Structure 1
Amino acid sequence: MIKNPLTRKNHKKATIFTGLLSAIAWTQYLTMCTTVYAADRVTIRYGFLEESTSVAELKKATETGQLPGSLQIYTSALSQEQRNWLVQGLKTRIPINVVTLNWLLNTQLGQTVINDIATVFDRRQYQSGVQAVRSGLILAASSPEGLSMLSFIAAYPSQTLRLNLPQVLTVGKFLNMDFFQTQQFLLMNSPQIDRQKPSINIPFDPTQTGTQKVEISRLNLSDDKRKRNIIVDIYWSNPTNGENNIEKPLIVFSHSSSSAGTDLQYLAQHLASYGYVVAALQNPGSNFFTNKGKVGLNYQEFLALPQDVSFVLDELAKVNQNPNNSLQGKLTTNKVMFVGYSLGGTTALALAGGELQIASLKSSCEKNAGKLSDVQSFMCLARQLPQNNYQLQDQRVKQIVALKPASSLLFGETGLTKIKVPTLVFTASADHVTPSLTEQINGFNRIPSPKWLAAAVGASHFSVVDPLVVNAFLNTNNTPITSREVVGAKSADVRNYVKAISLAMAAQLTPDANKYNVFLTPEYSQFASTPLFPFRLIAPSSSINTMGNTTGKN
């Protein structure tokens, strides 16, 4: 079981020691530089309005529960509940320690965090703010109280801190408690990005293209019973040597909501170059291009998407028996690895045996109305389904790769415990669409072994999407969330890691499994880590034993 990130204390001693030395050095240096200049007043601006208060008054507010009278121009318009929320926000300790924070600030994501925080300052302070934010964060995290909004303000190296209130609220939406808790969890056992690569035996580079020439065929399938037309792109090859004549699983892809079947075309090409056949579905109810760019979903799609996969497998089984089709004999429809991204990842969990628990979903949606994240509100569409529970498992699916799935509400407390096949969940620490902590990490605890949790620190929701596809979507859907996406050439390292672990997972259903096991280890995640993206992999002992052999395969 993954322990709660707030309470887990099993840092490796050597890693702690190295991190502490670095953090202490920063703290001592910054303390000398900032003691005289630490903030003692805060000026808050909102349009043409401006009010000031002292740090001492803010500290007193956390003790009395009453906001300073000097801020009455703002607080008079707030409800008592909102005032309480602000007071609590000032003193709440952010769950990240100084060691992890120091590592985080040395990553690409850390630089983004610093730049984001710097934008809340008055433009006159912005330039110096970029350099000073790190000082304030490290000093605050090193204080006895730990890192909080108040300790950061008090440690910030400027006698007067000028804040732009609307920007404070915008940045706070992204740099919330879940965000920092996620970084703490994923980084606390991660390798430092400047540490020497581990000494492990890598038989070959799994990110490089295989030897097979890839062909693409398109099938237009019609499910007359359900009145759904499904386009399927088949990526395949003709094996050129004996090694590639071994029976391999059919790999089926499903894309995200309001996206397209070409989301992961680079990954389909990659797997096909190793002799696998990949069937990439264009989901008719959630296709960005056929729906002319409309973003949205009918609640019935939560059932229709897994049913689409089962229908396609039925049809591909017929194609496999057709002597007049070039795909005859190539489609192993009774042994399938399913790869789903975002909503497709949620579909993967359902096909693997995860039970949709609609009664629990309804209760959560009603109880937490107004407090749900965007993706949780999206999942609440399923509350319109008539039954309390749905079991949509397809026995032909032997294992799954779920890339950034949403799982916090749809499967309730026990739905994921019913998964029947080996499962790899991939998460990204800067994902604001399907947040890592609530949608992947917490749910991973409930999934039975064998299972793997792979993570990319600093990656965002669209980092895994093919660069040729993602630009069209982001250009049409420009929001505060999508504008923060790390995509294209910037996320090439992330896509390479996804190539490696997906290829290794596919091999688990072949006689070559042992050859690929190394790519499903924490050591390989450290080996693959880059200065921009530290990678992380959790492989419970029941998934991979000390000899590197997988267990529990079907």
Structure 2
Amino acid sequence: MRRNRLSLFLYAALTLSIAFLPDALTPKPVQSAERIHFTVGPLDLTISVDSLETFVETGEITPELRRYTRYLDDQTLEELQPLLQQSFEVSHVAVAQLAYSPIGETFLQQLGEVIQTQSRQNGFYAIRAALIQAAQDPEGITLINVIRYFPTEGLRINTRQVQELVQEFRVLLEYQDATLRAIEQQAVLEAAEFPTDFTQLPDLTQPGEFAVVRRTETITDGDRPGLNGQFGRVYDTDFYFPQDAPSPAPVIAISHGLGSNREEFAELATHLASYGFAVVVPEHIGSNTQFREDALSGLFYQLLRPEEFIDRPIDITVALDRLERFAQENPDIAGTLDMESVGVIGHSFGGYTALALAGAEINPLRLAIECRDEQINLNISLLLQCLAIELPPASIDLSDPRVRAVIAMSPVPSAILGPEGMEAIDRPTFIIAADNDFVAPAIAEQIYPFTWLTTPERYLAVLSPASHLTVIDSIFLGTTSPLDELLIGPSGGLGSQYTQALSVAFMEFYLNDRADYQPYLSAAYAEFLSQEPLNLSLIRSLTREQLEAAYGDTPPQVVRPLFEEE
């Protein structure tokens, strides 16, 4: 496995255990931290902030700092300095809103067990104050600013917990390597079963034969409350119609992720429509880009309402209802749609949405297990999923009987659905994972959930090296954000090509009953499609026993047992 810069950075940060962890938050007062304290065995050690600042600014490793950097290899040190030099200009209002939100407070409380005050108290309040003040500094949020604004004379690293995190991270990396080997071995076996000459078949990465028309409709759902006291949930939805396509056309709904928007999936929607599908892309107003920006600017208190776990699947169902009425009201569309043959594609939070529409059920017992720990967790997606624990206990059926097949790209189901919720899915399901996804870790959020599926029609694709946004990477080409490599990876647009081709094949086979598209849903096609620098593996079968055999030891506890199993 080729690890990205994030993996190197995290391992180095945890190993140093001397203030590199605050940089994970994305980063001269009257009183500020001048020394960093930590304990090794019986020794109470310290290091000056000046030594760390010298390294960040010049690359020079002082004798004081060298005592600790000697545990890092040259490559890691070379990667560290530019990462730690990065400055982020973010409004202090936005930082405050994030730090005071439920997600932000949960994360800072957990981090405060690692980064403490000098007197060994949880560093929650000090970290929050330092972040907000650093955001007001003309230099922006930097590692050194966050430390300098820490409102005590020193900060203390909880070395015991850091060591536990180091060990956990090391084991997870080793297990991830073994898991990817097991998937590659399974793909080789499956590719040999049905050899196909794909050079003689249509290229699904290219647009289809139909022209596409896009229309935007505003949907008002008066049965649900709107945002900020508005009447009804009002959201725009884009409809993509293929022109002169054979009737009736199956329908595909696309659900964007948290902090995203429908425009980011316009390319995928257009590609699918060019193959004769009608495509519906709603804007999830409670978790889109605009809502995130409004929350950070102070218009809303919460960055995400727990009700979004309910509203998102309903957004899709209501949009499908509106499309059906829209077709009835427009003679040029009437009779051209097959509303009983619907597919759903979702990314990240949208991946959860797709799985819920396919019959997966919210799992209160699993949430209670996965969300009860106060210590910091390396699975960032749990900060999102655990908000669902605030939902009322009444169960709601979010599935839609019109949905016949779903694709979940980098979904986040481990806590919100768990094995029990995933087992309820009885429709063809395709899960796509990225090996270096630090937002929704592949093993916990996609690979294990794939093994929980009981539907016989299941597929797992793994992109490598890839991250959370690789599946839609083409829309980010040319951007220069410092988060590019962490969130997208070096794929250069190949991720979008793979996603588009596999989506066409999957939906043609299961919605149009086109048997001639079945060869594309194979390990052999994934091998044919793969090119540098982005590898694609596709399998249909994987067991926990295979993963354990590849690891050669008892695997780490990725998913914990329910109460009655303890």
**TM tier relative to shorter chain:** 0.5 to 0.7
Match of 1:307 among 309, 314, 317: 314
Contact 2:238 2:282 in 1 (8 A): yes
Shift of the alpha carbon at 1:297?
A: 1.1
Instruction: Tell me the SS of whatever aligns to 2:386.
Output: helix
Instruction: Tell me the SS of whatever aligns to 2:176.
Output: helix
Which runs of structure 2 are paired with 1:383-462 in the superposition (5 Å)?
Answer: 383-387=389-393, 389-448=395-454, 449-462=456-469
Contact 1:190 1:535 in 2 (8 A): no
Which residue is 1:269 aligned to?
270
Contact 2:404 2:511 in 1 (8 A): no
Shift of the alpha carbon at 1:370?
A: 3.5
In 1, the alpha carbon distance for the partners of 2:476 and 2:290 equals 11
In 2, the alpha carbon distance for the partners of 1:419 and 1:375 equals 22
Shift of the alpha carbon at 1:290?
A: 5.5
Opposite residue 452 of structure 2, the aligned amino acid is R
Shift of the alpha carbon at 1:176?
A: 4.5
Match of 1:73 among 35, 38, 45: 45
In 2, the alpha carbon distance for the partners of 1:483 and 1:267 equals 22
Shift of the alpha carbon at 1:412?
A: 3.1
Contact 1:262 1:466 in 2 (8 A): no
Instruction: Tell me the SS of whatever aligns to 2:237.
Output: strand
Which residue is 1:260 aligned to?
261
Q: Which consecutive unaligned segments of at least 5 residues does structure 1 have?
A: 6-42, 48-65, 76-112, 124-164, 542-554
Residues 362/72 of structure 1: CA separation in 2 closer, same or farther (3 Å cut): same
Which residue is 1:336 aligned to?
342
In 2, the alpha carbon distance for the partners of 1:122 and 1:235 equals 43
Which residue is 2:252 aligned to?
251
Residues 510/428 of structure 1: CA separation in 2 closer, same or farther (3 Å cut): same
Match of 1:222 among 220, 223, 238: 220
In 2, the alpha carbon distance for the partners of 1:339 and 1:210 equals 19
List per-residue Cα deviations over 1:173-201 (Å, max 9, x = no partner).
Answer: 996433442233123452899xxx98622
Instruction: Tell me the SS of whatever aligns to 1:434.
Output: coil
Instruction: Tell me the SS of whatever aligns to 2:329.
Output: coil
In 1, the alpha carbon distance for the partners of 2:417 and 2:217 equals 32
Opposite residue 486 of structure 2, the aligned amino acid is R
Shift of the alpha carbon at 1:462?
A: 1.0
In 2, the alpha carbon distance for the partners of 1:73 and 1:382 equals 41
Q: Which consecutive unaligned segments of at least 5 residues does structure 2 have?
A: 2-14, 20-38, 48-72, 84-155, 225-231, 297-302, 543-566
Opposite residue 353 of structure 2, the aligned amino acid is T
Residues 114/417 of structure 1: CA separation in 2 closer, same or farther (3 Å cut): farther
In 2, the alpha carbon distance for the partners of 1:403 and 1:213 equals 26
Match of 1:319 among 326, 337, 347: 326
In 1, the alpha carbon distance for the partners of 2:362 and 2:17 equals 47
Which residue is 2:177 aligned to?
183
In 2, the alpha carbon distance for the partners of 1:268 and 1:484 equals 25
Residues 359/389 of structure 1: CA separation in 2 closer, same or farther (3 Å cut): farther
Shift of the alpha carbon at 1:384?
A: 0.7
In 1, the alpha carbon distance for the partners of 2:334 and 2:421 equals 37
Contact 2:209 2:275 in 1 (8 A): yes
In 2, the alpha carbon distance for the partners of 1:284 and 1:469 equals 22
Shift of the alpha carbon at 1:533?
A: 1.6
Match of 1:119 among 79, 88, 94: 79
In 2, the alpha carbon distance for the partners of 1:376 and 1:426 equals 19
Shift of the alpha carbon at 1:427?
A: 0.3
Instruction: Tell me the SS of whatever aligns to 1:366.
Output: coil
Identity %: 26
List per-residue Cα deviations over 1:10-59 (Å, max 9, x = no partner).
Answer: xxxxxxxxxxxxxxxxxxxxxxxxxxxxxxxxx97969xxxxxxxxxxxx
Which runs of structure 2 are paired with 1:530-541 in the superposition (5 Å)?
Answer: 530-540=531-541
Residues 220/508 of structure 1: CA separation in 2 closer, same or farther (3 Å cut): same
Which runs of structure 2 are paired with 1:68-147 in the superposition (5 Å)?
Answer: 72-73=44-45, 115-116=75-76, 118-119=78-79
Shift of the alpha carbon at 1:372?
A: 6.0
Which residue is 2:197 aligned to?
201
List per-residue Cα deviations over 1:452-503 (Å, max 9, x = no partner).
Answer: 011101111011225446888x95xx66xx662235x833111111111100
For normalisation by structure 1, the TM-score amounts to: 0.63
Residues 368/306 of structure 1: CA separation in 2 closer, same or farther (3 Å cut): same
In 2, the alpha carbon distance for the partners of 1:236 and 1:466 equals 24
In 1, the alpha carbon distance for the partners of 2:290 and 2:81 equals 41
Instruction: Tell me the SS of whatever aligns to 1:253.
Output: strand
Residues 526/356 of structure 1: CA separation in 2 closer, same or farther (3 Å cut): same
Residues 323/485 of structure 1: CA separation in 2 closer, same or farther (3 Å cut): closer
In 1, the alpha carbon distance for the partners of 2:319 and 2:520 equals 30
List per-residue Cα deviations over 1:398-453 (Å, max 9, x = no partner).
Answer: 11000000011001341110012100000000101111011111111111221101
Which residue is 1:159 aligned to?
none
In 2, the alpha carbon distance for the partners of 1:114 and 1:222 equals 58
Q: How many pairs align?
A: 389
Are residue 354 (structure 1) and residue 355 (structure 2) matched? no
Residues 510/365 of structure 1: CA separation in 2 closer, same or farther (3 Å cut): closer
In 2, the alpha carbon distance for the partners of 1:191 and 1:491 equals 26
Which residue is 1:232 aligned to?
237
